[in-house]
Amino acid sequence: MSDDLDALRIAGDDKADRFKGNGARRRRRRWPYVLAALVAAAVAAWALSPRTFTVEAATVALAYPSRTLTRLTASGYVVAQRKAALATKATAQLVWLGVEEGSRVQKGQVVARLESADVEAARDQARHEMEAARRQIDSDQAELKDARINFERMKKLVAGDYVARSEHDAAEARLGKAEAALAAAKATLEARAEALRQAEAQLTYTDLVAPFDAVVLTKNADVGDIISPLGASSTSKAAVVTIADMGSLAVEVDVSESSLREVVVGEPCEIQLDAVPSERFPGKVHMIVPTADRTKATVLVKVRFDAIDPRVLPEMSAKVAFLTRPLSPAETTPRLAVPNAALTRRDGRDAVFVIRDGKAVLVPVTLGESLGDMREVTSGLETGLKVVLSPPAKLASGDAVTLGEG
């Protein structure tokens, strides 16, 4: 009986060993399939997951059609062509100042006054001296009249030997002296009149008058300062205010000698001010200054505004585009545009990749005219958006993007 049990136990153990071996072989045969499935799942997950691209970007902005007509550009500054520093020939204390920076003045308007008590006294003295000279003339004229009558009387008397010849000679001498005295009195009157005009001129030097319609740019002195023609000392000022005719504003730019042939007097220009970057101001070449700057190898060119905008101020930085022809009214309006490098063709349509929240989003666009290195966009975008430049062929909507340096 025990032998039969042992035989059954041995047979069971053999069968169990054979079952375990078959399971191990089956697991070994399934492992390549499991590995392949895992690899396929990883590849699919990688293919479906967003990728990251390093790209360059540009901003959607307004562009002017004049870009296609620009033959040359130059930078410079707005300069008033008529400008004056109001000073005086007299040395005196400033007692009144009627303007400040930004004040508008009219031609002939008094903008400041200097102390004038001494020159007023000199003027009054000259006036009185001229009046005294005029009275002296009246006296000398009366004396001359009397001397002439007496001389005529003596001529008749001496002819009849009624008086001595010496009395006739004395009357003649008196007449000569009276004529000379009158002439001297008239000369003195003229001298006194010149002295009065000089005193009045000295008095006008105490009033600083605007020589033309202008705007006050700077105030260089205050009430109480000593104003001197030469500003010889540290406590004296030479000019009280500086004014400029705002109607004479022009842009002065330096043009390279090698590019000067592209500039012609009277040709149209477009002026851009850094202070007003969203607008362009039409202008024309006013003058090519006939001398060159040897240190910079440039020539100064002056460009006039067709119309002065009140926002234009002296010394503003400006850029001038020299155009091949005048702009039409339609070409003066800016248009929404993107760089040509941002455009791509996807699924047979023009599109750009817009960067939103760190991802590239494909946006179809409708294109308009070419604007030099930019292209007009009539629909699909708005100003301020960031677009990808030269998008990679594998870039897809939803891929993550980072901006490269530079």
Q: What is the 3-state secondary structure (H, E, C) of 54-93?
A: EEEEEECEEECHHHHHEEEEEEEEEEECCEEEEECCCCEE
Please report which helix (H) or strand (E) contains residue 224, including its range. none
DSSP label at 151? Answer: H
Tokens of 204: 């006008």
Distance CA 112, CA 209 (A): 8
How long a stretch of residues is the chain? Answer: 406
Decide: helix, strand or coil at residue 182.
helix
- Predicted local distance difference test score (pLDDT) of residue 19: 47
Give the pLDDT confidence score for residue 237 in this predicted structure.
Answer: 77
Nearest-5° angle of CA 211, CA 216, CA 221? 95
Q: How many CB atoms lie within 10 A of CB 285?
A: 20
Place of tokens 């024309």: 284
Question: What string of pLDDT tens digits covers the 406 residues of the chain?
Answer: 555 545 545 555 555 555 455 555 555 566 666 566 666 665 555 555 557 888 889 989 888 888 888 999 999 999 999 999 998 887 889 999 999 999 999 999 999 999 998 889 989 999 999 999 999 999 999 999 999 999 898 888 888 888 888 888 898 899 999 999 999 999 999 999 999 999 998 888 899 999 999 999 999 999 988 888 765 555 567 889 999 999 999 999 999 999 999 999 999 999 999 999 888 999 999 999 999 999 999 999 999 999 999 999 999 999 999 999 998 888 888 889 999 999 999 988 999 999 998 899 999 999 998 888 889 999 989 888 999 999 998 888 988 988 876 4
Instruction: Give the DSSP letter of residue 325.
Output: S
Give dist(CA 36, CA 62) in Å, integer: 54
pLDDT above 90 covers a percentage of the chain that reads 56
The three state secondary structure string of 303-318 is EEECCCCCCCCCCCEE
252, β-bridge pairs: 77, 302
Residue 105 host element (H or E): strand 104-105
Contacts of 245 (CB under 8 A, 6+ apart): 80, 81, 82, 83, 212, 213, 214
Mean confidence (pLDDT) of the chain: 86
Distinct helix (H) and strand (E) counts, the chain: 3, 25
Q: Quote the pLDDT of residue 269.
A: 96
